[in-house]
Chains A and B, each alone.
Chain A
């Protein structure tokens, strides 16, 4: 049948189903093929901590939201244009994210009495959720998949596993996506171990595509025409992968082998997994017996001359605290990555938050300053990791890099850089000069000490957690301690000389400055654009460096009447800014729900009246 083709600037699609329904894969494939098609995109996986939560229950719903647009897309989108719900629970869990004119595609076969009952529906689920006015497509996806594969020779369980591919086919038709990428993916995935699965999967995707083209319910289809982007080679990349690659890039640019000692923890594990693959680039990874051994093995590797890294999430960072203090005291280069999740304690491991900032800044005994940085988008994790390593090696200090579950698991298209665009990293390797090596003698400019990795001829020395003099002799002398405390703090403070100034997006002075740090950048940026488009003048500034703060921070803040600090915690960065610059007034725009901001959250903090207009 004929369909009207609507040209859309951007659309948000949410794939949701049971945690075993393959929705993460469906979403990832849809995102990747859209990226290759040339669209901008941002993704947001939202899944339960249980690998297979109780089947059919709302708690077990796994979702993957992808926002695709003609040009650059900065957020995964607040509300969706299309929801794919593979069962009633998925519909129930996600109905609140539907736009007014949204399309809902449901698998009719899962909407039987048992499915409805498990999700807690009593009657018509669409009426109960008040979404009966949306464009609802009810398709017997399970039966159609069975029909499609009845001659495939596959058993029924294997056939049912293919139903997410039928859904993908339908979505590809509705959004005019080419299927070539899916075919290439299936080839690569199954060629070696299960070549018999290639053809059935291909067929199901294709049948889903054709089915969507034949039914009445699909009235309109959409195209999202890619805008011309900057020329170059692109790839879609998740934050965790980009972070791992950034560390490897720093290893190449510093000429030092990379060592990573880590313990698996959600949502940071993928960094260790990624690093473990790349032994061809000389990377040594160690899955240690616990978090403490992760950081301690890294400190040992640093003492032996490696670019040393440990990766973790909040609870793991707590366990590493004492050893991080040891890295502060021994002044060894070390990168500690914290992919933050919702806390406290185990909290909500698969949900995102920015609640570890205080821990990063203050979570150690004694006065033990470390450099604290944050990545602001999935692709930016590459640069952030590279810069963290550069600072650690050139300033002889541990660097704590904050990422977030949202960044680690989220993805975006990335224009692949050339390594020639990145600076050489110059570790402060000491050379024997015939005099006795003084391990804590400092560079006049940066106050960084020299690094004499164990094994360097003629520079034998001892380091440790006890206070020492510049020459490395143990000392409890009051003046020496005061001096060393001050010097360690000043050394970190002087990193400000090596980091870029803040860049203001918008006028340099005005009524409102939106302030953010970390993974909220896309949302704040989108909110600022929308506010401006509706006549409200705001400026925006984003902090990649938290300790030390960029040198022009005071100057930037002084230009505005109202400073609104947006963050996914209860005001930690706001309190930090207040402690650094008490002369300004700050307003918090906080969210601690284990979820990313909605653009409307930020708009509401600036101009609540606009939200009211929207609702009307």
Chain B
């Protein structure tokens, strides 16, 4: 097994994203994570496959020196599923934008999650259609003015986390394009997870939706408006590390430690491994300004995977069967002989 560095995952293709595009940094994080993935899994890079649909982010496979499939709009999940079922030894990474995964490919997206096929699904969410030059997407905020919504959108957006957890997804993580370290951290967690691992990257489109995440990601406000969830750690955030999340009846609320008798003990401790879909959904749905936006791995729970079950049935049925070749099958059952 070879030892790799990030350079081994760079292809010779010229990267054609716009200068300043958020996709660059997610690509860099992936190229930095895969050497670790290969080492951990004990695989060579020919076992890595990167699959995408259509859109700006879906160009990513061309920039990776691995097996790659740049497919058609919305269908990356279905293609990735076929690849993984056909050869479970492959380590499959999918790249889709918010339009690719949640609009035209919404059906495949939820069904992959339902089946829990072991793929790592990177959802690049810039809340806009970039490649077609600026139309609203299913994650654009209500009222967003775009070329196809000149008076503002009149349809509420999806929160990808709600969709994943609503489909009883086994893994959901969120990060921001520029968070190189956190991105590598969640990519590695996704790689270790056996099942559909959805990672939402809030990416910035410089050209058509510049600053769409700035209200939470700008340097001066990030600490107060986001919270990085880590297992075993208290849900504490803020520049002064004095704010926290606690349960108030059936709901979450933001509190200040030291005020109104709140102590650190009252603050929730994160546990992505517990099968607590209700709490994890509430965390995934936290929105600024009422809440900080949750980053990091929000949920990762074990469950059987689709490709394992398919392979298990093939194995079990084969072990019990008397027929193992076509000639035996052809003469099995109801036949007669003409003498």
Chain A positions within 8 Å of B, measured between CB atoms, are: 32, 35-36, 38, 228-236, 245, 248-249, 252, 257, 259, 261, 278-284, 286, 288-290, 292-293, 296-306, 308, 322-323, 325-326, 330, 415-419, 453-466, 473-474
Is the CB–CB distance between B83 and A303 below 8 Å? yes
B132, CB-defined interface residue at 8 Å: no
User: A288 CA to B79 CA in the complex, in Å?
Assistant: 11
User: A292 CA to B105 CA in the complex, in Å?
Assistant: 10
User: A249 CA to B324 CA in the complex, in Å?
Assistant: 12
Task: Please report the number of residue pairs spanning A and B whose Cβ atoms sit closer than 8 angstroms.
Answer: 204
Is the CB–CB distance between A297 and B107 below 8 Å? no
User: A296 CA to B75 CA in the complex, in Å?
Assistant: 7
Partner of B62, one of A296, A415, A474: A474
Given contacts A235-B335, A292-B75, A454-B49, 10 further A-B contacts (CB under 8 A): A36-B334, A245-B329, A279-B317, A281-B325, A292-B108, A293-B111, A455-B46, A462-B68, A463-B70, A464-B62
- Name B46's closest neighbour in chain A (CB-CB): A457
Is the CB–CB distance between B82 and A299 below 8 Å? yes
Task: Indicate whether A235 sits within 8 Å of B87 (C-beta atoms), given known contacts A300-B79, A303-B69, A464-B70.
Answer: no
User: A473 CA to B54 CA in the complex, in Å?
Assistant: 17
Is the CB–CB distance between A298 and B82 below 8 Å? yes
B331, CB-defined interface residue at 8 Å: yes
- Name A285's closest neighbour in chain B (CB-CB): B310
Complex A-B: 10 CB contacts under 8 Å: A232-B338, A286-B81, A286-B82, A300-B80, A303-B49, A303-B83, A330-B69, A455-B47, A455-B89, A462-B68
Is the CB–CB distance between B85 and A286 below 8 Å? yes
Task: For residue A484, give the distance in angstroms from its CB to the closest CB of chain B.
Answer: 16
**What 0/1 readout, one digit per residue, does chain B (107-141) give for beta carbons within 8 Å of chain A?**
11001000000000000000000000000000000
Task: For residue A331, give the distance in angstroms from its CB to the closest CB of chain B.
Answer: 13
Task: For residue B81, give the distance in angstroms from its CB to the closest CB of chain A.
Answer: 5
User: A474 CA to B62 CA in the complex, in Å?
Assistant: 9
Chain B positions within 8 Å of A, measured between CB atoms, are: 11, 13, 44-47, 49, 51, 54, 61-62, 64-72, 75, 78-87, 89-90, 107-108, 111, 310-311, 313-314, 317-318, 320-321, 323-327, 329-331, 333-339
The 3 tightest CB contacts between A and B, nearest first, are A300-B82, A464-B70, A297-B82
Point out which of A233, A281, A298, A473 has the most chain B C-beta atoms below 10 A from its C-beta. A281
Is the CB–CB distance between B65 and A460 below 8 Å? yes
**A36 partner residues in chain B, CB cutoff 8 A:** 334, 336
Task: Indicate whether A279 sits within 8 Å of B313 (C-beta atoms), given known contacts A284-B85, A460-B45.
Answer: yes
Point out which of A36, A249, A462 has the most chain B C-beta atoms below 10 A from its C-beta. A462
User: A261 CA to B310 CA in the complex, in Å?
Assistant: 13
User: A428 CA to B54 CA in the complex, in Å?
Assistant: 29
Partner of A304, one of B45, B78, B83, B336: B83
Task: For residue A259, give the distance in angstroms from its CB to the closest CB of chain B.
Answer: 5
Is the CB–CB distance between B329 and A278 below 8 Å? yes
Task: Indicate whether A326 sits within 8 Å of B336 (C-beta atoms), given known contacts A303-B83, A454-B83.
Answer: no
**A288 partner residues in chain B, CB cutoff 8 A:** 78, 111
Task: For residue B338, give the distance in angstroms from its CB to the closest CB of chain A.
Answer: 5
Is the CB–CB distance between A300 and B51 below 8 Å? yes
Is the CB–CB distance between B335 and A233 below 8 Å? yes
User: A289 CA to B106 CA in the complex, in Å?
Assistant: 11
User: A461 CA to B317 CA in the complex, in Å?
Assistant: 35
Task: Indicate whether A248 sits within 8 Å of B329 (C-beta atoms), given known contacts A38-B338, A304-B82.
Answer: yes
Is the CB–CB distance between A279 and B314 below 8 Å? yes
**A231 partner residues in chain B, CB cutoff 8 A:** 338-339
Is the CB–CB distance between B70 and A466 below 8 Å? yes
User: A415 CA to B338 CA in the complex, in Å?
Assistant: 9
Task: For residue B256, give the distance in angstroms from its CB to the closest CB of chain A.
Answer: 46
Is the CB–CB distance between B90 and A462 below 8 Å? no
**B81 partner residues in chain A, CB cutoff 8 A:** 286, 293, 297, 300
Is the CB–CB distance between B310 and A284 below 8 Å? yes
Is the CB–CB distance between B78 and A296 below 8 Å? yes
Partner of A416, one of B72, B86, B335: B335
Interface of A is mostly: mixed
- Name B333's closest neighbour in chain A (CB-CB): A235
Task: For residue B10, give the distance in angstroms from its CB to the closest CB of chain A.
Answer: 12
User: A462 CA to B80 CA in the complex, in Å?
Assistant: 14
Task: Indicate whether A261 sits within 8 Å of B71 (C-beta atoms), given known contacts A245-B330, A248-B326.
Answer: no
- Name B74's closest neighbour in chain A (CB-CB): A292
Partner of B90, one of A32, A248, A454, A458: A454
Task: For residue B250, give the distance in angstroms from its CB to the closest CB of chain A.
Answer: 33
**B51 partner residues in chain A, CB cutoff 8 A:** 300
**A298 partner residues in chain B, CB cutoff 8 A:** 82
Is the CB–CB distance between A293 and B108 below 8 Å? yes
Task: For residue B124, give the distance in angstroms from its CB to the closest CB of chain A.
Answer: 17
- Name B82's closest neighbour in chain A (CB-CB): A300
- Name B66's closest neighbour in chain A (CB-CB): A460
**B323 partner residues in chain A, CB cutoff 8 A:** 280-281
**A259 partner residues in chain B, CB cutoff 8 A:** 82, 85-86
**A458 partner residues in chain B, CB cutoff 8 A:** 46
**A252 partner residues in chain B, CB cutoff 8 A:** 325-326
**A234 partner residues in chain B, CB cutoff 8 A:** 335-338
Is the CB–CB distance between A279 and B318 below 8 Å? yes
Is the CB–CB distance between A461 and B314 below 8 Å? no
Is the CB–CB distance between B334 and A462 below 8 Å? no
Is the CB–CB distance between B72 and A465 below 8 Å? yes
User: A442 CA to B52 CA in the complex, in Å?
Assistant: 26
**A296 partner residues in chain B, CB cutoff 8 A:** 71-72, 75, 78-79, 82, 108
- Name B70's closest neighbour in chain A (CB-CB): A464
Is the CB–CB distance between A323 and B313 below 8 Å? no
**A235 partner residues in chain B, CB cutoff 8 A:** 330, 333-336
**B111 partner residues in chain A, CB cutoff 8 A:** 288-289, 293
User: A474 CA to B72 CA in the complex, in Å?
Assistant: 15
Is the CB–CB distance between A462 and B69 below 8 Å? yes
Point out which of A417, A464, A473 has the most chain B C-beta atoms below 10 A from its C-beta. A464
Point out which of B71, B89, B107 has the most chain A C-beta atoms below 10 A from its C-beta. B71
Task: Indicate whether A464 sits within 8 Å of B69 (C-beta atoms), given known contacts A292-B75, A301-B86.
Answer: yes
Is the CB–CB distance between A282 and B72 below 8 Å? no
Task: Indicate whether A261 sits within 8 Å of B334 (C-beta atoms), given known contacts A326-B71, A460-B45.
Answer: no
Task: Indicate whether A462 sits within 8 Å of B79 (C-beta atoms), given known contacts A252-B325, A293-B111.
Answer: no
Is the CB–CB distance between A457 and B44 below 8 Å? yes
User: A296 CA to B87 CA in the complex, in Å?
Assistant: 15
**B83 partner residues in chain A, CB cutoff 8 A:** 300-301, 303-304, 454
Is the CB–CB distance between A249 and B86 below 8 Å? no
User: A215 CA to B194 CA in the complex, in Å?
Assistant: 71
Is the CB–CB distance between A300 and B326 below 8 Å? no
Task: For residue B296, give the distance in angstroms from its CB to the closest CB of chain A.
Answer: 30
Is the CB–CB distance between B334 and A465 below 8 Å? no
User: A236 CA to B310 CA in the complex, in Å?
Assistant: 31
Task: For residue B279, give the distance in angstroms from its CB to the closest CB of chain A.
Answer: 29
Is the CB–CB distance between A280 and B70 below 8 Å? no
User: A322 CA to B79 CA in the complex, in Å?
Assistant: 13
- Name B325's closest neighbour in chain A (CB-CB): A252
**A286 partner residues in chain B, CB cutoff 8 A:** 81-82, 85, 310
**A417 partner residues in chain B, CB cutoff 8 A:** 330
Is the CB–CB distance between A455 and B314 below 8 Å? no
Point out which of B85, B313, B321 has the most chain A C-beta atoms below 10 A from its C-beta. B85
**A464 partner residues in chain B, CB cutoff 8 A:** 61-62, 68-71
**B314 partner residues in chain A, CB cutoff 8 A:** 279, 282-284
**B65 partner residues in chain A, CB cutoff 8 A:** 460
Task: For residue A309, give the distance in angstroms from its CB to the closest CB of chain B.
Answer: 11
Task: Indicate whether A297 sits within 8 Å of B87 (C-beta atoms), given known contacts A233-B335, A233-B336, A462-B69.
Answer: no
User: A38 CA to B107 CA in the complex, in Å?
Assistant: 51
- Name A453's closest neighbour in chain B (CB-CB): B87
- Name A253's closest neighbour in chain B (CB-CB): B326
Task: For residue A566, give the distance in angstroms from its CB to the closest CB of chain B.
Answer: 32
Task: For residue B320, give the distance in angstroms from its CB to the closest CB of chain A.
Answer: 8
Task: For residue A253, give the distance in angstroms from its CB to the closest CB of chain B.
Answer: 8
Task: For residue B79, give the distance in angstroms from its CB to the closest CB of chain A.
Answer: 4
**B318 partner residues in chain A, CB cutoff 8 A:** 279-280, 282
